[in-house]
A and B are shown apart, each in its own frame.
Chain A
């Protein structure tokens, strides 16, 4: 594992940086909950995502995310959101809480288990499941999920990030 930005800072500076950059607190223990990240989905977001990310000509304009006919042709009742959109709610929470410890050393395993439609309101949540020693760091492992407004889980999985052991133990 490559060392992160921490190695470029003194311990004191690193801790100041940590406090300034992170909402995550050193007293955090198993059971701590990630800050929820919510989003109201829209058909416009479904329509715009692929052209924005792949370019105008890379993906069919009529696709399962943007077009009712294309969705029905695949057996879906209506257009569905693109899974990475919902994974991004989880990664946003991890980035907000861990910064460098997510960018360098972060891991996630996320499964889309239920479609999200344009009318859905979704929220990513997570709970600290365990802390694992890993070299000079401690890996914070979360059970994570995304649920819709009916509290039905649409994404389930895990995400983890590193905290320097020297800071975690202070």
Chain B
């Protein structure tokens, strides 16, 4: 039995440390679109089916489950911060249906960070707009940087990474 250690680095490089997270930091912008196949994959993995997702919706064509917004905003965050940890808190406000083959723009920033019960948390938020500037959704996410508490040394080398979307750059 080995002594638990928090992961300090992984296959994408150094994990972001709590001290290096700057509240207010701009996560930049990212263009995002998805197709009907992406909706189908999400419906399958989440076991979340509805005729509006697969056949026709009142908005013209199919729409996506709101949780299709999870991966791109995670990527927006992951482009800048290598945080694996655990996803803890998801907040969303839906303003308009998410439609396939539409160019959306995401923009985000780090909104907060805190320590609670000896765990480190980072919170970021993002807004999604269409090409007309219409807001489609707002979301705020909170991740615990580590499952293990802060008293555990952060020195280990890990397998997983929080750098989704930039692994190719790391290799």
Q: Which residues of A contact B (CB under 8 A)?
A: 1-2, 5, 8, 17, 39, 45, 48-50, 52-54, 57-60, 62-64, 67, 69-70, 73-76, 80, 82-85, 87-88, 91-92, 95-96, 99-100, 102-112, 115
Contacts and interface: CB of A to CB of B under 8 A. Distances in A.
Given A67-B159, A73-B159, A74-B84, A52 B44 contact: yes
Nearest to A76: B147
B83 to A, nearest CB: 12
Query: Which of A49, A58, A67, A96 has the largest count of B CB atoms less than 10 A from its CB?
Result: A58
Interface of B: 4, 6-7, 10-11, 38, 41-42, 44-48, 50, 52, 58-59, 63, 65-67, 70-71, 75, 84, 86-97, 134, 146-148, 152, 156, 158-161, 164-165, 167-168
A58 B167 contact: yes
A17 B94 CA distance: 21
Contacts of A95: 48, 50, 52, 65
Given A53-B41, A74-B147, A100-B58, A59 B90 contact: no
Nearest to A62: B159
B11 A60 contact: yes
A74 B94 contact: no
B7 to A, nearest CB: 6
Contacts of A54: 71, 75, 164-165
Nearest to A87: B90
Contact of A102 (B38, B90, B94, B147): B94
B42 A53 contact: yes
Contacts of B84: 64, 74
Nearest to B64: A103
B87 to A, nearest CB: 4
Given A58-B164, A58-B167, A84-B67, A108 B91 contact: yes
Contact of A82 (B6, B50, B75, B87): B87
A16 to B, nearest CB: 13
A112 B88 contact: yes
Given A53-B42, A74-B7, A87 B67 contact: yes
Contacts of B63: 103
Contact of A88 (B65, B156, B168): B65
A52 B66 CA distance: 17
A82 to B, nearest CB: 7
Closest 10 CB pairs of A and B: A75-B148, A88-B46, A83-B87, A63-B160, A5-B58, A70-B159, A106-B94, A52-B41, A70-B160, A84-B70
